[in-house]
Amino acid sequence: MIKAMESPIGKLYLQVKSGRLTSIQFEEPKGFAAPIEDNDTINQQVFEQSVNQLNEYFEGKRNSFELPLHVEGTAFQKSVWGQLPDISYGTTISYQELANRINNPKACRAVGQANRKNPLPIVVPCHRVIGKDKSLTGYAGSLLSIKEYLLQLESKSAQNIF
């Protein structure tokens, strides 16, 4: 099932399969004319739970997610994505630091490419990874304004949560 939700950064397209959230896309998926529904109650529940938790995040009331997830990728991509939830809410690290965390310090560019292919942005917080010089780089190139919005949201909300 693929359905859209409204958010402060525009429509988000959520895909749920087999009772797990599998992707969040910022742009309308190809061939998406209307919600791709299914009658599976579990998928519907996961979609609603995802929407609720994302709304709480955008309201500054949630700093992590508790959702059933499923991601597909290479072993390297999964190792990178597996580190992202460990980056504290409201903080950032560099691509180099992330490469160091996966014990592959020379893989800085590959880490950036893995981040770019993260199928679950926001929930798996790749937006918290920035350039070594503190610049906002990456985030699917043209979507840097979304990365900036998310980091500002977390910076403001972190003061209220902690």
Residue 142: band (very low, low, confident or very high) from pLDDT cuts 50, 70, 90: low
pLDDT at 141 over 60: no
pLDDT in tens, 67-84: 999 999 999 999 999 999
Same domain, 41 and 80: no
Residue 136: band (very low, low, confident or very high) from pLDDT cuts 50, 70, 90: confident
Residue 25 lies in a domain: yes
Residue 83 lies in a domain: yes
- The one catalytic residue in 14, 126, 130, 150 is 126
pLDDT at 37 over 90: no
Same domain, 85 and 27: no
Residue 63 lies in a domain: no
What percent of the chain is predicted at pLDDT more than 90? Answer: 75
Q: Is 108 a catalytic residue?
A: no
| Domain at 81, CATH number | 1.10.10.10
Start-end of H helices in the chain: 41-58, 75-83, 95-101, 108-116, 144-161
Same domain, 157 and 80: yes
* CA–CA distance, 22 with 27 (Å, rounded to integer): 15
The pLDDT of residue 133 is 81
Residue 69 lies in a domain: no
Same domain, 49 and 87: no
Same domain, 43 and 98: no
* CA–CA distance, 99 with 107 (Å, rounded to integer): 6
Q: Per-residue pLDDT averaged across 32-43, rounded? A: 71
Residue 161: band (very low, low, confident or very high) from pLDDT cuts 50, 70, 90: very low
Q: Exposed e or buried b for every residue in 89-106, given b needs 16+ CB within 10 A? A: bbebbbbbbbbebbeeee
Residue 66 lies in a domain: no
Domain count, the chain: 2
12, 31, 58 - which closes a domain:
58
- Which residue segment(s) compose the domain that 52 sits in? 2-58
pTM of the model as a whole: 0.90
Residue 28 vs residue 35, higher pLDDT:
28
Residue 88 lies in a domain: yes
Residue 64 lies in a domain: no
The pLDDT of residue 9 is 95
Same domain, 150 and 125: yes
Residue 107: band (very low, low, confident or very high) from pLDDT cuts 50, 70, 90: very high
Same domain, 29 and 87: no
pLDDT at 143 over 90: no
Same domain, 155 and 82: yes
pLDDT in tens, 116-132: 999 999 999 999 999 88
Name the residue type at position 150: L
Same domain, 82 and 156: yes
